[in-house]
Amino acid sequence: MGEAGEPSGAPLRVALLSYRSKPHCGGQGVYLRHLSRELVDLGHSVEVLSGQPYPDLDREEITLTKIPSLDLYRDEDPFRTPSPGEFRDWIDVLEFAHMKTGGFPEPLTFSLRALRALRGRRRDFDVVHDNQVLGLGSLGIPRLGLPLVTSIHHPISVDRRIELEAARGVKERLGKRRWYGFVAMQSQVSRRIGPVLTVSESSKVDIVKDFKVDPRDIEILPLGVDTRLFHPRGPRVPGRIVAMASADAPIKGVDVLLHAVAKVATERDVHVIVVSRPQKDGPTERLVRELALGERVRFVSGVGDDDLAELLASAEIAVVPSRYEGFSLPAVEHMASGTPLVASRAGALPEVVGDAGVLVKPGDVEELAATLHRLHDSADERARVGAAGLARVQERFAWPAVAQATVQHYRAAMRDQDYRRLAAAPRR
């Protein structure tokens, strides 16, 4: 535990919590990976407590403590039924029952498991960082005497709203409402959890609006990009468009991109690569067939870091077609690659991209298609937009600076915890 009057530069022992940490295209996993690396490089001790899928970590000094769930949503067997021998305790039973009734249990059940793991180790850490878990168990962490800082990249209430608007029929809408039932818990927890870090002004507004968090409890701390990995790499493939987005999530706008590419492809030799794994015979695969895109669209997933960076740098145009983003690391990674970026004028994207990309109306197929057509035909405009994006990244988005600022928030939370402990002590 940190003591009052602790030297400001003393190394910290940090516990980073994440209920799932998908390594490459999941925002929570990307954030966890880069932040943990930079914290260690600053001299701090980091232990990651994560559920499945487990993270990729960049330093041997980082300890990964696995907090296994029943892994009910694994890619190869989603919504599976575990064998009786897999059930270990009442939390497992709760998790399975929640899933079988149409809900998403992981934030709640991970938070309960993490609290149990921390209860016997309260002296091992100086501070705990909750990476958007926001489960009821998280409320117990300060009661252990552990200072807590929480990241909310954006409130999932926004995802719920967009999914409900895209749902077809009463049955699908009811199913979406049940799936997103955990959002009410996250809203409740966020109002009681203490200091919150978020990534943009847009996200802060949405957290205040949807979760009713006191704006004085929220600090804005933008994310960074690993420019050692994402940078311009040489010749680009003519006609190549690249996007990184969850293919079947309406909030990510892949459907809009595919419609736009189909229009451009009638007159120009273009193709699109989407870094994602669409559901087999799901809405995205059906749309590809309906649009007769054939070999003009390709989905890739599970690619390594270098291959991903090479792919982003090989594109003539990058697109973030989302209907909402709380920040968008992919947008910054595209810009760091020197690739001219087209992004929706939605959520935090205008804030992140500034005037260093081309902004289009979210969901507007015609405007996106016209923009792709124009950029495809103008090497000069592509060069100008790509150079502007690269310059913006170099000026604004760097992971070492993010980590340094995060540590200052850790120390502030530790000081607050010390004051509360001293105030609760009996008067002499």
Give the residue extent of every domain in the chain.
13-224+399-424, 240-396
* pLDDT at residue 8 is higher than 70: no
**Whole-number Å distance between alpha carbons of 375 and 368:** 11
| pLDDT class of 426 with cuts at 50, 70, 90 | confident
* pLDDT at residue 5 is higher than 50: no
What are 232-259's pLDDT values in tens digits?
Answer: 998 999 999 999 988 888 899 999 999 9
Q: What is the dihedral of CA 8, 11, 13, 19, to 10 degrees?
A: 80
**Whole-number Å distance between alpha carbons of 89 and 328:** 37
Q: 72: how many CB neighbours lie within 10 A of its CB?
A: 21
The secondary structure of 55-117 as a DSSP string is: PP-S-TTSEEEE-----TT-TTSTT----GGG--SHHHHHHHHHHHTT---HHHHHHHHHHHH
Establish whether domains 13-224+399-424 and 240-396 are of one fold. yes
Nearest to 417 by CA among 128, 39, 115, 42: 128
What H or E segment, with its residue span, contains residue 247?
none
The answer to whether 312 and 334 have CB atoms below 8 angstroms apart is yes
The answer as to CATH 3.40.50.2000 being correct for domain 13-224+399-424 is yes
Provide the mean pLDDT of the chain. Answer: 93
Q: Are strands 317-320 and 240-244 parallel, antiparallel or unpaired?
A: parallel
First to last CA, the chain: 23
The answer to whether 137 and 105 have CB atoms below 8 angstroms apart is no
**Whole-number Å distance between alpha carbons of 231 and 393:** 10
Q: What percent of the chain has pLDDT over 70?
A: 97
The secondary structure of 276-325 as a DSSP string is: S-PPTTSHHHHHHHHTT-GGGEEEE-S--HHHHHHHHHH-SEEEE--S--
What are 23-48's pLDDT values in tens digits?
Answer: 765 678 889 999 999 999 999 999 99
Domain 240-396: give its CATH architecture. 3-Layer(aba) Sandwich (3.40)
